[in-house]
Structure 1
C-alpha cells in the first residue's frame, strides 16, 4: 500500500471514530497531498493542462499535487476514480467536453450531477488538419473527395462517442463520409497524418501548436460559429454549408459531488488566483485556449447544456 493510500485509510478511520469532524477537516484543509486525476494519457492537451494547473495550485494550497493519468474509455476511467474516491477534496481531476459527449453516446455511467465543477479553464473550437504534403489542401477539396470516395479517407480522433465522432457523423449526413480511426495515445494521434497513417486529424490547435508552427500540419476548416482569430484564413464549416458549431473543446477542473462546501470554496479561491496569474495567461495564449473562466452555477450548467446539445445532435 502506498503512503498516499495509507494516509487515506488512517484518516477515514479517524473520521468514523469521531476523532476528526468534517468541520475540522474543512478548516484544516489541505493537510496532505491532493491527487490530480488526469483522465487521458500523457502528452495530450488534457494532461498538459492538468499538470500545469496542479503545479500552480501547489503554491496556492501549500501541498504537493501529483498528477495521475487514468486513461481509458474516452476519459470515463478517470472519472470513475473521481466518483469512487472520498468526497474530501483530496482527489480533484479533469472533466472535459470529449468525455461529456461520450455520455450521450452511451459510454460510461457518469452524469453531470456526479461532479462539482470548480471552473471551466480552457475552451477552443476543433478543426480538421491535414499534413503539409496532403493532396487535399482545402476543405472544399477534402469534402469533394470524400463525397466521391465514401469511407476512403481516414480521420484520427480521440475516440468513439466523443465530439470528434459526432462531427464525423454530422458530416456523413451531408454526404461527407470519412472513417473514424481512434487513437488512445495523443502523440500517436497528432503524428498520424504526418506519417501518412491517416489522411486527416480532428483536433484543437493548442494541442498541436508545435506541429502547426513547424509547418507540418495545416488547418483547413473550423467547427465554430466564427473564424478563429489566430487562423483568419481558415473557413468555418458553416461557411461551407455544414451547420456544425457549438462542439467546442472545453476543459474543467472538478471534484466529486458532495464535497464539503468550505473545501470547495478554498479550492475555487485558489484556482481563481491561478487563472488570474500572468503565468496562466501565457500558458493559455500559447495553447490558443484562453477564456474568461466559467465558475459556479454557470460552470455546472455548461456541462449539462453541452450534454444536452450532443444528445440532440445524435438524435436528430
Structure 2
C-alpha cells in the first residue's frame, strides 16, 4: 500500500472513530429518547413488583418518557436478570435486583454475579419475619420451634424460592434442630394466602408485603430475624433473643442496569431514582410497607450487594 493510501486509510479511520465517539456522546446527552422498560424479576402482586411499578411511575416525570413494566418471573428472580444482562447496555432496560436473588447465587442458582450489573440505588430494606395464621395452634415462636424440633419436617413454610434467604434461614434453623419444610411459591399472592388457606403452616416474609393481612388480623408475626425488635412490631421477639444467631438477612430491593452502561446515562437514571425516592408519594409508599431507608447509591450500593452475597456464602459454609 502506498504512503498516500496509508495516510488516507489512517485519516478515514480516525474520522470514523471520532464520529463514533461523537455519536456516543450525543446519545448520552439526548438520553432518553424513547420508553425505558422496567424488568421486574418476580411475578405481579409481590413486593418487588410493587416497588418496580411505583418506582417506574415516579421516574417517568424526571426522565420525560414512559416506563412500561415487564414481569419476568422464575428461578428466584434469575430469569429476569438474564433478560436485563443480555439486553443492550444502553439504558433502555432497567430492572429490579433484590436480595432474594443475590442470596440464590450463593446456593448455585443462576449464572449472574454482582459485576454483571450496576446498581443505581438500594431503595428499600426490611428484616424478615415468620408469620402464622391467626388461628394457628402456635401462638409464640417458642411453641412453633418446639413443635418443629419434636416433629422434624412436618411443618411447612411458604417461601419465595429455593436458594433465597428464606431457604437459607430455614437451613440455619435446621442446624439448630428446628427443621421445617420449604414450600416455594412463584406467585406472591398465592404465597401470602397459603397459610391462611391452610396450605402451609408458616409464611416467611417481610411485613410490608403482607400489610393487608396484618391489618385484617389474618396473619400474626411470631419472630423477626434481626438483632433488634422492629419498631412497628415491638412485641415480636427477635431471633437473637430466642437464641438463634440469624440476622443480617434483610430483604433489600434495588434498581439496576446492565454493567457497561454509559456513565452519563447511569448518572441520569440515578438522579431520577433519587428524585423519586424523595417524593411524598414514595415516602408514603415505603412507610406503608415498613421499608423506608436513605437510598444507597454508587460504590456503596455495589458494595452492599457484594457484602450481602459474601454473608450468605459464609452462613451456608458455616
Return the TM-score normalized by structure 2.
0.93
Cα distance in structure 1, aligned partners of 2:307 and 2:20 = 40
1:114 is matched with which residue? Answer: 116
What pairs up with 1:235-254 in 2 under 5 angstroms?
A: 235-254=237-256
Cα distance in structure 1, aligned partners of 2:53 and 2:281 = 14
Give the gaps of 5 or more residues in structure 2: 1-16
Look up the SS of the partner of 2:305 in the other structure. helix
Cα distance in structure 2, aligned partners of 1:271 and 1:240 = 38
Cα distance in structure 2, aligned partners of 1:203 and 1:101 = 15
Give the superposed CA RMSD: 1.2
Cα distance in structure 1, aligned partners of 2:116 and 2:43 = 22
Q: In structure 1, which of residues 126, 144, 147 is the aligned counterpart of residue 146 of structure 2?
A: 144
Cα distance in structure 1, aligned partners of 2:294 and 2:267 = 19
Q: Which runs of 4+ in 1 moved over 6 A?
A: none
1:74 is matched with which residue? Answer: 76
**Is it true that 1:174 corresponds to 2:176 in the alignment?**
yes
2:33 is matched with which residue? Answer: 31
Structure with the greater alpha carbon radius of gyration: 2
Cα distance in structure 2, aligned partners of 1:199 and 1:272 = 40
Look up the SS of the partner of 1:121 in the other structure. strand
Give the gaps of 5 or more residues in structure 1: 1-14
Number of residue pairs matched?
301
Cα distance in structure 1, aligned partners of 2:20 and 2:141 = 64
2:189 is matched with which residue? Answer: 187
1:126 is matched with which residue? Answer: 128
Deviation at 1:20, TM superposition (A): 7.5
Cα distance in structure 2, aligned partners of 1:245 and 1:159 = 19
What pairs up with 1:36-115 in 2 under 5 angstroms?
A: 36-115=38-117
Look up the SS of the partner of 1:21 in the other structure. helix
Deviation at 1:19, TM superposition (A): 10
Look up the SS of the partner of 2:105 in the other structure. helix
Deviation at 1:278, TM superposition (A): 1.0
Deviation at 1:18, TM superposition (A): 5.0
Return the TM-score normalized by structure 1.
0.94
Which string of whole-angstrom CA distances, capped at 9 and with x for unpartnered residues, describes residues 62-107 of structure 1?
1000000000000000000110000000000000000000000000
1:284 is matched with which residue? Answer: 286
Look up the SS of the partner of 1:281 in the other structure. helix
Deviation at 1:304, TM superposition (A): 0.2
1:220 is matched with which residue? Answer: 222
1:258 is matched with which residue? Answer: 260
